[in-house]
């Protein structure tokens, strides 16, 4: 019998299957990945070194989906907003990515290059070296919280709370109504974060 001209496995097929598995269960093992692809586990190692390599391929695929192209000549405030929004929107589509990527070290590649460009922008803006990594980490924290908030209901409190006369009820009724609650909260958080960073720069 002639050998098939199209290989059964490819890096794209492996990544697609891993993303499907992680979307279903929140994680994956190499054994599960092999079963989903209908191949022996040993066959996977002809294409990838192991699970960490698959996670890194997912990271690269996700980074492409985020479409974060950091303009190193742009204002640092705009760069922070663009990076945060792109990352938040992607994680909201794939919430399982949060734990998967957070527990695996980043390898050199597009994702690392994007972070390098962000670090360049922050350094050129005048932030101290010891602050740059903390700012990048803070963006990740805001992004993770913002992506999970997008999955929350628009109405966070029951009518028994919002119809009351206490402080929380008044605050809920006074909240902006011209955009979805999660969008308003995310923009507010980014504004506060950038204002705090501007103050830190001014104090140097």
- Domain boundaries, given as residue ranges, for the chain: 70-203
Which whole number is the average pLDDT over 165-172? 83
Please state which architecture CATH assigns to domain 70-203.
Answer: Orthogonal Bundle (1.10)
Q: pLDDT value at position 110?
A: 55
41-55, 63-77, 162-176, range with greatest mean pLDDT:
41-55
Query: To the nearest 10°, the Cα dihedral for 22, 186, 89, 52?
Result: -40
Check if the beta carbon of residue 97 is closer than 8 Å to that of residue 91. yes
pTM for this entry: 0.74
Check if the beta carbon of residue 81 is closer than 8 Å to that of residue 127. no
Check if the beta carbon of residue 151 is closer than 8 Å to that of residue 88. no
Query: What mean pLDDT, rounded, does the chain reach?
Result: 86
Q: pLDDT value at position 137?
A: 94
Q: What is residue 78's DSSP assignment?
A: H
Which whole number is the average pLDDT over 133-156? 91
| Residue bearing the bigger pLDDT, 55 or 157 | 55
Assign 5 a pLDDT band (cuts: 50, 70, 90).
very low
CA distance 57 to 12: 9
CA distance 87 to 146: 10
Check if the beta carbon of residue 179 is closer than 8 Å to that of residue 168. no
CA distance 3 to 131: 57
Q: pLDDT value at position 77?
A: 97
For the ranges 35-39, 41-45, 96-100, the lowest mean pLDDT is seen at 96-100
CA distance 136 to 2: 53
Which whole number is the average pLDDT over 60-89? 84
Q: Tell me how long the chain is.
A: 204
Q: What is residue 103's DSSP assignment?
A: T
DSSP code per residue over 4-52: PSS-S--HHHHHHHHHHHHHHHS---HHHHHHHHTS-HHHHTTT-SSHH
Assign 4 a pLDDT band (cuts: 50, 70, 90).
very low
Check if the beta carbon of residue 161 is closer than 8 Å to that of residue 169. yes
Assign 6 a pLDDT band (cuts: 50, 70, 90).
very low
Please check the confidence at residue 146 and state whether its pLDDT lies above 70.
Answer: yes
Burial environment of residue 92 by CB neighbours within 10 A (0 to 12, 13 to 18, 19 or more): middle
């Amino acid at each position: 019998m002639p050998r098939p001209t199209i290989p059964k496995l490819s890096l794209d097929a492996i990544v697609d299957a891993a993303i499907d598995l992680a979307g279903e269960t929140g994680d994956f093992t190499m054994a599960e990945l092999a079963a989903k692809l209908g191949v022996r586990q040993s066959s996977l190692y002809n294409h990838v070194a192991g699970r960490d390599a698959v996670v890194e391929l997912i990271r690269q695929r996700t980074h492409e989906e985020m479409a974060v192209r950091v303009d190193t000549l742009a204002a640092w405030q705009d760069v922070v907003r663009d990076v945060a929004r792109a990352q938040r929107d992607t994680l909201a589509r794939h919430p399982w990515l949060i734990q998967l990527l957070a527990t695996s070290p980043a390898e050199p590649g597009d994702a690392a290059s994007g972070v390098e460009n962000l670090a360049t922008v922050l350094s050129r803006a005048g932030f101290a070296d010891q602050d740059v990594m903390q700012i990048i980490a803070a963006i990740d924290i805001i992004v993770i919280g913002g992506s999970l908030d997008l999955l929350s209901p628009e109405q966070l409190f029951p009518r028994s709370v919002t119809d009351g006369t206490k402080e929380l009820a008044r605050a809920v009724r006074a909240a902006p109504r011209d955009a979805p609650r999660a969008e308003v909260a995310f923009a507010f958080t980014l504004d506060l974060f950038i204002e705090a960073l501007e103050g830190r720069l001014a104090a140097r």
